[in-house]
């Protein structure tokens, strides 16, 4: 999982701010086919280069050569989704959603210039100075556990958030109607964390709405500064109203006294909202309920004078930011209602306001529908899982669905000039502006799209809502460039960019990522849903182009071998240069990177891709492609070829191959710190002794015949406690490896060097289940190992969830504790499919 923030590496970062300014100043190109004939036509290519000019990141004008231009040119194949597929008239049920996964609670429209809403809160008087303002999900802010109890991915959700002595419950429900995405309502309930808790300090909730362009907002103010409602109009939403209703006691309709403050200004930029509100919380006010002693609290300036308002009333085109603060004693509930003008304009059929008892009924109805649909889909109760484990399964699904976001913007791409290992004298270029509808690995740490994560995410989503998976796959395939490349990390828009260090903004067009999107594609093929097949028919040219780029660009030194481009250079501070494009980051590869390397996992991914694309081509009647890829798939799955390139008799397993020695270690050398020392024997071309997840890939991707002579040795390694087996799941690197648990540098702790990861354990469970149902000498053993591994993985994730309230990025192979970032409801949500035995 090439996580920039956690895996530091050298990256071209100079001039990133210049590129961001360029990204905001104008749209990128949306060219069709790029490039042209090479060789004899080289003179023509040189001639046309003068037509392609772009502003380089260093601020100077640089020439964009045809090869470079292809890197930032969108693919010419027809889109897998209609170009207007996100508009409310086309997909009204998906137009509004909790598509801001990095905030604790907020909603936005699926639009390049959306209307955004959100929640902040603060406990007044608990600490000296400005109260802690909660808004964006942060790894170390002390909030938690938090997460969605229910979320159906479409129209309903209920989330619980623990913040010290407080427990917040955020709920929303959407109501269809009209031509602009319908209505929705929120309910936010704040209660003491424990019953019988002594009186808490005042709590302030901040409800806000933000526009990103020329949209109109007009506040209507009542007594005491309370906002009656906000009226507005946008081209996509038409007329609408937003209303903050009077607070009540939880479960009651009697109003509860609240103090109100409001603030209205131009939009400072989405990443700056929190700081703007913090900076304005500098006025003392009195909270004066009747018959109760007043209390002080810090509030926003009590007026609706729009600061820096320009004559046009549009804040210099920046949009508007309007926020209302309500302050009162815990416990209480507050409702926030959005009403679409077109949904309300239905004459005698106009519905009542979705608030109070109507909202309560709607929430209860949706919660019950979720429970019934969940059991019908995954059958956990029928399979004998405990009520607590069923709650875990619901939370795993809901957290994944509640982490779906909608992003729009331009990424930075370093073109592939075909000069690997040499200094590329070219600046990154701006990719065209593109939308992305995707789940995210972690709301707190990775709230953006990651390519190889998303294939695993969609294995879960697809079982619940195939339409959501088609939408997501269509968006990812829309990122294809003219060569067939998709960037592995998508940093689109100001909010996403603000969460990423500048040196990790640039994506390299030579670097691949495991093609896991083909996993849900394979499941679509098996299911045979006509809607899925119709989508795959449209998506096929892009899927084929993506696979062809992977197969060709990552070809290895000999036929049917493959090599991940983009390994880190052999720096003296690194124990083993990382291979971020593989997704397995610091998993040990050949000690001395070279073009002679053959990577086992990549070959297996290409074999899977060739198999899936061949089956898809045959299903869709694409005879020419089937004839092209069929022989490739057969060759890659032939055991003789796999043995020749990757079986290591001296290790008794499959392995990478390259210029390697085990005699490397980090040793202290003041004042430099830890330095890599290479001893004897020196490196030579050989199989890489690094038993772990990579060794298992022919098993994990089910490439071996059930009668294969290699299946038994792989099961031996998998089941051996000295190697991969642990009471908590399969460890990523054998405990017997010299790299096990080793740091990669002084500042780089182990990542894929022993910890238990759910995505690979899920693949292992699927493979063991597969071979446990096929006749062969290892059938009974595979079935037994499946049962034992499933019990270990599910049992530990459940135990850690009970103890912490979180799903985690990885788990310790020593004691099972959750590690890495949390909540991590990306591929760790695969625990649900493991419980359901759905592979």
Give CA–CA dist 162/139, Å, rounded: 14
The count of other CB atoms within 10 Å of the CB of residue 497 is 20
Q: Both tokens of residue 487? A: 């960037």
List 149, 427, 483, 585, catalytic entry = 585
End-to-end CA, the chain: 22
pLDDT for 156: 98
Q: Both tokens of residue 133? A: 């303002």
Could you read off the pLDDT of 406-441 as tens digits, one per residue?
A: 999 999 999 988 777 666 678 999 999 999 999 999
| Residues β-bridged to residue 665 | 677
Is the dihedral angle over the CA atoms 397, 402, 406, 407 positive or is it negative? negative
Give CA–CA dist 700/524, Å, rounded: 19
Element (H, E) at 764: helix 758-771
List 212, 416, 656, 809, catalytic entry = 809
pLDDT greater at residue 33 or residue 407: 407
Give CA–CA dist 150/157, Å, rounded: 5
Could you read off the pLDDT of 345-368 as tens digits, one per residue?
A: 654 456 789 999 999 999 999 999
Mean pLDDT of 133-156: 97
Q: Is 809 a catalytic residue?
A: yes
Q: Where are the domains of the chain?
A: 96-378
- Asked if residue 62 lies in contact with residue 426, where contact means CB atoms within 8 angstroms, the answer is yes
Look-up: residue for tokens 């710190």?
673
Give CA–CA dist 77/164, Å, rounded: 52
Rounded to whole angstroms, what are the CA distances from 11 to 21, 23, 427, 565, 741?
Answer: 20, 20, 12, 15, 26
Look-up: residue for tokens 């802690």?
132
198 band by pLDDT with thresholds 50, 70 and 90: low
Proportion of the chain in helix, strand, coil states, percent, rounded to 5: 35, 25, 45
Side-chain-facing half-sphere of 409: CA atoms under 13 Å: 23
Give CA–CA dist 330/193, Å, rounded: 11
Element (H, E) at 677: strand 673-678
Mean pLDDT of 327-342: 95
Mean pLDDT of 684-691: 98
Nearest to 119 by CA among 186, 185, 205: 205
Whether CATH 2.70.98.110 fits 96-378? yes
Alpha helices in 562-688 (DSSP H): 600-620, 623-637, 639-646
Instruction: Indicate the SS3 state at residue 791.
Output: helix
Instruction: Indicate the SS3 state at residue 321.
Output: strand
Nearest to 565 by CA among 602, 607, 519, 608: 602
pLDDT for 28: 32
CB under 8 Å to 223, separation ≥6 — which residues?
none
Look-up: residue for tokens 């603000």?
498
Could you read off the pLDDT of 454-471 as tens digits, one per residue?
A: 999 999 999 999 999 999
pLDDT for 215: 80
54 band by pLDDT with thresholds 50, 70 and 90: very low
Q: Is 423 a catalytic residue?
A: no
Any idea how long the chain is? 839
Q: Is 60 exceeded by the pLDDT of residue 30?
A: no
Mean pLDDT of 727-732: 98
Could you read off the pLDDT of 692-718 as tens digits, one per residue?
A: 999 999 999 999 999 999 999 999 999
Dihedral angle at the C-alpha atoms of 598, 602, 604, 609, nearest 10 degrees? -140
Give CA–CA dist 746/749, Å, rounded: 8
Nearest to 468 by CA among 96, 153, 151: 153
- Asked if residue 580 lies in contact with residue 643, where contact means CB atoms within 8 angstroms, the answer is no
Give CA–CA dist 833/839, Å, rounded: 7
Give CA–CA dist 681/676, Å, rounded: 15
Give CA–CA dist 147/425, Å, rounded: 46
Q: Is the peptide bond before 681 cis (omega within 30 degrees of 0)?
A: yes
Strand pairing of 259-266 and 320-328?
antiparallel
pLDDT for 309: 46
pTM (two decimals): 0.91
- Asked if residue 793 lies in contact with residue 729, where contact means CB atoms within 8 angstroms, the answer is yes
Mean pLDDT of 26-35: 32
The single-letter DSSP state of residue 4 is: T
Rounded to whole angstroms, what are the CA distances from 223 to 220, 301, 651?
Answer: 10, 16, 79
- Asked if residue 599 lies in contact with residue 589, where contact means CB atoms within 8 angstroms, the answer is yes
- Asked if residue 102 lies in contact with residue 136, where contact means CB atoms within 8 angstroms, the answer is yes
Rounded to whole angstroms, what are the CA distances from 654 to 736, 756, 785?
Answer: 16, 20, 20
DSSP string, 232-293: EEETTTEEEEEEEPPPB-TT--SB---EEEEEEEE---GGGHHHHHHHH--EEEEE--TTS-
The count of other CB atoms within 10 Å of the CB of residue 137 is 23
Least confident of 30-39, 154-163, 640-649, 792-801: 30-39
Angle (deg, nearest 10), helices 466-477 and 530-553: 30
Could you read off the pLDDT of 171-189 as tens digits, one per residue?
A: 999 999 999 999 999 999 9
- Asked if residue 26 lies in contact with residue 12, where contact means CB atoms within 8 angstroms, the answer is no
Rounded to whole angstroms, what are the CA distances from 610 to 550, 700, 727?
Answer: 11, 16, 35
| Residues β-bridged to residue 185 | 173, 337
Q: Is 70 exceeded by the pLDDT of residue 41?
A: no
């Amino acid at each position: 999982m090439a996580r920039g923030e956690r895996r530091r590496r050298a990256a071209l970062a100079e001039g990133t701010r210049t590129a961001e300014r360029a990204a905001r100043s104008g749209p990128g190109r949306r060219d069709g086919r790029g490039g042209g004939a090479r060789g004899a036509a080289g003179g023509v290519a040189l001639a046309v280069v003068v037509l392609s000019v772009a502003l380089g990141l260093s601020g100077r004008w640089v020439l964009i050569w045809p090869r470079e231009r292809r890197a930032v040119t969108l693919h010419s194949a027809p889109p897998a989704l209609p170009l207007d597929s996100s508009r409310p008239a086309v997909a009204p049920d998906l137009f509004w959603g909790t598509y801001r996964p990095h905030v604790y609670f907020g909603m936005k429209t699926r639009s390049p210039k959306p209307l955004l809403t959100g929640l902040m809160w603060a406990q007044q008087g608990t600490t000296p100075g400005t109260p802690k303002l909660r808004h964006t999900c942060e790894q170390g802010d002390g909030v938690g556990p938090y997460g969605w109890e229910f979320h159906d991915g479409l129209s309903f959700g209920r989330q619980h958030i623990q913040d010290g002595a407080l427990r917040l419950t955020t709920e929303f429900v959407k109501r269809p109607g009209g031509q602009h995405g319908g209505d929705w309502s929120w309910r936010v309930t704040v209660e003491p964390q424990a019953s019988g808790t002594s009186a808490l300090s005042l709590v302030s909730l901040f409800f806000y709405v933000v526009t990103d362009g020329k949209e109109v907002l007009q506040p209507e103010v009542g007594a005491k500064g309370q906002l009656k409602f906000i009226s507005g109009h946008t081209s996509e939403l038409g007329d609408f109203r937003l209303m903050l209703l009077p607070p009540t006691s939880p479960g009651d309709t009697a109003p509860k006294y609240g103090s109100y403050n409001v603030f209205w200004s131009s939009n400072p930029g989405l990443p700056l909202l929190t700081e703007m509100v913090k900076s304005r919380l500098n006025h003392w006010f009195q909270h004066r309920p009747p018959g109760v002693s007043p209390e002080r609290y810090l509030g926003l300036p009590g007026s609706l004078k729009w600061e820096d308002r320009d004559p046009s009333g549009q804040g210099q085109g920046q949009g508007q930011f309007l926020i209302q603060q309500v302050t009162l004693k815990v416990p209480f509930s507050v409702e926030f209602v959005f009403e679409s003008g077109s949904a309300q304009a239905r004459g005698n059929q106009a519905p009542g306001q979705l608030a109070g008892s109507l909202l309560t009924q709607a929430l209860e109805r949706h919660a019950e529908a979720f429970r019934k649909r969940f059991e019908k889909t995954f059958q956990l109760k029928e399979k004998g899982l405990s009520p607590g484990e069923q709650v875990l399964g619901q939370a795993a699904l809901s957290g994944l669905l509640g982490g779906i976001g909608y992003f729009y913007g331009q990424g930075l791409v370093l073109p592939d000039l075909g000069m690997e290992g040499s200094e590329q004298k070219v600046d990154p270029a701006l990719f065209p502006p593109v939308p992305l509808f995707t789940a995210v690995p972690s709301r707190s740490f990775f709230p953006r799209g990651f390519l190889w994560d998303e294939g695993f995410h969609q294995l879960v989503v697809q079982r619940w809502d195939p339409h959501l998976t088609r939408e997501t796959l269509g968006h990812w395939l829309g990122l294809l460039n003219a060569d067939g490349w998709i960037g592995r990390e998508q940093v689109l828009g100001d909010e996403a960019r603000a969460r990423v260090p500048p040196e990790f903004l640039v994506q390299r067009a030579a670097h691949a990522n495991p093609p896991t999107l083909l996993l849900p594609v394979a499941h679509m093929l098996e299911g045979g849903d006509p809607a899925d097949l119709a989508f795959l028919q449209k998506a096929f040219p892009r899927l084929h182009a993506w696979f062809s780029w992977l197969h060709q660009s990552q070809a290895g030194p000999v036929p049917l071998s493959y090599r991940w481009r983009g390994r880190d250079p052999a720096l003296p501070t690194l124990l083993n240069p990382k291979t971020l494009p593989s997704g397995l980051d610091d998993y040990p590869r050949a000690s001395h990177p070279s073009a002679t390397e053959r990577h086992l996992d990549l070959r297996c991914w290409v074999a899977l891709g060739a198999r899936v694309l061949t089956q898809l081509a045959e299903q869709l009647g694409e005879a020419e492609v089937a004839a092209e890829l069929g022989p490739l798939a057969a060759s890659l799955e032939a055991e003789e070829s796999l043995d020749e390139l990757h079986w290591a008799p001296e290790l008794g397993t499959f392995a990478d191959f390259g210029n390697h020695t085990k005699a490397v270690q980090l040793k202290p050398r003041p004042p430099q710190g830890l330095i890599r020392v290479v001893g004897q024997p020196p490196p030579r071309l050989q199989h890489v002794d690094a038993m772990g997840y990579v060794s298992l890939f022919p098993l994990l991707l089910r490439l071996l015949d059930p009668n294969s002579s290699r299946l038994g040795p792989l099961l031996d390694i998998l089941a051996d406690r000295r190697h991969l087996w642990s009471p908590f799941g399969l460890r990523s690197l054998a405990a017997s490896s010299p790299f096990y648990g080793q740091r990669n540098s002084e500042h780089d702790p182990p990542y894929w060097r022993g910890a238990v990861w759910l995505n690979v354990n899920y693949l292992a469970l699927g493979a063991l289940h597969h071979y446990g149902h096929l006749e062969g000498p290892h059938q009974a053993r595979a079935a037994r190992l499946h049962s034992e591994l499933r019990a270990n993985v599910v049992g530990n994730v459940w135990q850690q969830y009970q103890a912490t309230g979180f799903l985690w990025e990885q788990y310790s192979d020593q004691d099972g504790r959750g590690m890495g970032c949390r909540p991590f409801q990306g591929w760790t949500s695969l625990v649900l499919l493991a419980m359901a035995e759905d592979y």
